[in-house]
Amino acid sequence: MKRALVGDIGGTNARFALWENNRMHSVQVFATADYTSPEQAIGAYLQAQGLSKGDLGAVCLAVAGPVSGDEFRFTNNHWRLSRQAFCKALQIERLLLINDFTAMALGMTRLQPDERRTVCAGEPETGRPAVVIGPGTGLGVGTLLGLEDGRWMALPGEGGHVDLPVGSAREAQIREQIASETGHVSAETVLSGGGLLRLYQAICALDGQPATLQSPAAITDAALAGEPLALAVIEQFCRFLGRVAGNNVLTLGGRGGVYIVGGIIPRFAELFLRSGFADSFAEKGCMSGYFKNVPVWLVTAEFSGLLGAGVALQQAG
C-alpha cells in the first residue's frame, strides 16, 4: 500500500507529514505566504522527503473553511484548490478534504497524558459530545462524538462566527467600540490573533490610553512582563473565550469536556490558567450548575490537526 500524506493548512502555516501504518512521521511546516498553491507547497515537501509525484496513494488535507464541491477557497489565506486539478497535478488516487476543526477534534483522540493541562477539573460523560475550540489566525470550533462501534465522529461547523457574547456593561462598551470600527462583531473578531490587537485598541480607546503596541505578540510579551494594560487585555480575552466556550457546551450538551487548542493561548498559558476564564465559562445564570464536573483542558500538543487528518484517513478506509 502506498504511503499517504496528511496536511493541516491554516491561514499562516501549512503543516505536512507522511502517514504510514496508522502513524505520522516527518512533519514539516511551510509558510503559506511563500507558495502560490497547496500543490506547490506539497511539491516542496515531497522534494525535501526524497519523494516524487505518484509516490502517494492518498492525501487528507484539513482546511480552514466549509468543504463542499470541487473547488475550495481557503478562508484566511490566498490559496485555492480544485480537487480534480490537485489529484492530476500530484498524481494521487484519492483526496480527502476535511474542515480543519474536524481534524483538530479527531486529533483529540490521539492525545497523550502529558499533552494537556487541566483548566477546570471534572470527568467527561461517556457518550456526550466534547467541544474543541481554539483561537489562532481565526477562531475554530468543532464537536467530537464517540460512536458505539469505537469510531469517532467530528462535526464540522463555523461556530467561530457566532455573535460575540457579552456579560457585563464593560464588555458591552468594548463590543460597541469594536463595532464602530468593524460593523458586525463575531466571536472571531476578538478571539483570534488579529482580534487580540483589536481588543487592545478598543480598550485603549475606552480608557483614553495611547495604543502603543502594534502586534498580538507585543501585547502578549508586555502582559508576560507584567504591564498592567496588556494584562487587562489578556484577562478580557480569556473571559470572552470562556463565554463562547460555555455557550457551546450549553448548545451541544457538551458534557464530554472542552479542549482549548490553537496557537494563541499556549503563549500565555500561566496567565490563562489564572484568568477569569473558568468564571465566565460557567456564568450562565440559572444554568450555571450545568457546568459542575465538566472538564476543560488546555491542549499543548503541537500537531493535533495533522494527527486528526490521519485518523480521518484511517476511518475512511
Task: Using CB atoms within 10 Å of the CB of residue 317, give its burial: 0 to 12 exposed, 13 to 18 middle, 19+ buried.
Answer: exposed
Q: Residue ranges of the chain with pLDDT lower than 70?
A: 1, 75-76
What does the block give as the cell for 158?
A: 463555523
Is the Cα torsion angle 279, 283, 289, 291 positive or negative in sign?
Answer: negative
The three-state secondary structure class of 117 is: strand
Running DSSP on this structure, what letter comes out for residue 285?
A: G
- In angstroms, rounded to a whole number, what is the distance separating the alpha carbons of residues 297 and 58? 32
CB half-sphere exposure, 38, CA atoms < 13 A: 32
Q: Could you tell me whether strands 152-155 and 296-299 are parallel, antiparallel, or unpaired per DSSP bridges?
A: unpaired
Q: Which domains does the chain possess?
A: 3-105+303-316 (3.30.420.40), 112-300 (3.40.367.20)
- In angstroms, rounded to a whole number, what is the distance separating the alpha carbons of residues 227 and 220? 10
Sequential DSSP letters for 18-87: EEETTEEEEEEEEEGGG-SSHHHHHHHHHHHTT--TT-EEEEEEEESS---SSEEE-SSSS-EEEHHHHH
pTM of the model: 0.89
Known binding residue 143? Answer is: no
Is the Cα torsion angle 275, 281, 285, 290 positive or negative in sign?
Answer: negative
Question: Any idea which residue has 498559558 for its cell?
Answer: 269
H helix or E strand, kind and range, residue 180: helix 169-182
Known binding residue 10? Answer is: yes
Give CA separation, 17 vs 10, 11, 14, 55, 285, in Å.
Answer: 15, 18, 10, 14, 45
- In angstroms, rounded to a whole number, what is the distance separating the alpha carbons of residues 161 and 189? 8
Determine the pLDDT at residue 1.
Answer: 54
- In angstroms, rounded to a whole number, what is the distance separating the alpha carbons of residues 102 and 92? 23
Known binding residue 150? Answer is: no
Known binding residue 256? Answer is: no
